[in-house]
Amino acid sequence: MKIETYDIPGIMLIIPRHIGDERGYFSETFRADFFGGHVGDYTFVQENESLSAQVGTIRGLHFQIQPHAQGKLVRCTSGAVFDVAVDIRHGSPTYGHWISELLTPENGKQLWMPPGFAHGFCSLEPDSVIAYKVACSYYDLECDKGLAWDDPAIGIRWPDVADTQTLSTKDQQQPLLTDLPAYFSWSN
């Protein structure tokens, strides 16, 4: 496995190795010892899967607050997604900054975002599936929060296929970054 970092501290890209031949490939997608040694000591408690049937489906930006904040290790198992993480840690030098990655089964990339980041994605192919391991805490409705996917202060450059008609009612009503309480604080 290989790890790449970004200008936003905490977010990491994990790229498992594909061992292939004419039949296909094998890939070790997760090892607790590797993850703990390179990323941090997190306990994964839940695994989720999301299917977006239509190209351009927008989901997010989502996160959970304390006492049930979550970290996420996201990968695409079918299709392709434009995956996004936004720093929402007050006081962070990269507060409100975002990164994106193209996740596909072929490239095998996995995006890690610890608590303190909002997550969202846009499907680029029909029947795109993401699977993500959730660290730290189980889903909790009361702690489930979000951020406007199209906040101009953040300025995410979504793919041209992004279709606002696919937004859930919840995602149509998420607050702007300027209206977001200080749910997370930066600590270096």
Give me the active site residues, please. Answer: 62, 132
Residue 51 makes CB contacts below 8 A (sequence gap 6+) with: 127, 128, 129
How far is Cα 120 from Cα 62, in angstroms, rounded to an integer? 6
Can you point out the beta strands (E) in 79-146? 81-87, 89-90, 98-103, 110-113, 117-123, 128-135, 144-146
Q: What is the dihedral of CA 160, 164, 167, 173, to 10 degrees?
A: 120
